[in-house]
Amino acid sequence: QVQLEESGGGLVQAGDSLQLVCKVIGRTLRNDGVGWFRQAPGQEREFVACIRVDDGMKLNAGSGQGRFTISADLHTNTVTLQVNALKPEDTSVYYCAAVFGSSPTYYSTDYDYWGQGTQVTVSS
């Protein structure tokens, strides 16, 4: 079985930082793509960042304005999203997604496995 578990969300103030962690269970990450998406109530699911685990190729949404950094740790089988200088507009449920044997993309439909999300709430 394959499961993705997100953690690290919470209630923070504008300007704070968070480190969101995606733990992949049931698969040793190798030639795989892992992405982060977010979705606020009434909004479409939005791409945040992704990484190709074997060589570290990364993509980031331009709307992040350089505040999002994605990284992979093969020792712990995790992918981390570092989010700095949080704004109220960043408030969303953040989801981890994975696709095996393929490069990650901007599109949610390209991913096969999803976590259940971690809530990030940013107060002003």
Condensed to tens digits (0 to 9), the pLDDT of residues 78-118 reads 999 999 999 999 999 999 999 999 889 999 999 999 999 99
Chain mean pLDDT for the chain? 96
Residue 51 banded pLDDT, cuts 50, 70, 90: very high
Residue 43 sits at φ, ψ, to 5 deg, of -115, 160
pLDDT, residue 113, reads: 98
pLDDT, residue 81, reads: 98
Expressed in percent and rounded to 5, the helix, strand and coil fractions of the chain are: 5, 50, 40
Say which residues have a Cβ less than 8 Å from residue 73's Cβ, sequence separation at least 6: 79, 80
The stretch 57-84 carries a mean pLDDT of 94
- CA 79 – CA 106 distance, rounded (Å): 16
pLDDT, residue 62, reads: 85
Say if strands 118-123 and 10-13 run parallel, antiparallel, or are unpaired. parallel
pLDDT, residue 63, reads: 79
Residue 65 banded pLDDT, cuts 50, 70, 90: confident
Check the CA dihedral 48-53-59-65 and report its sign: positive
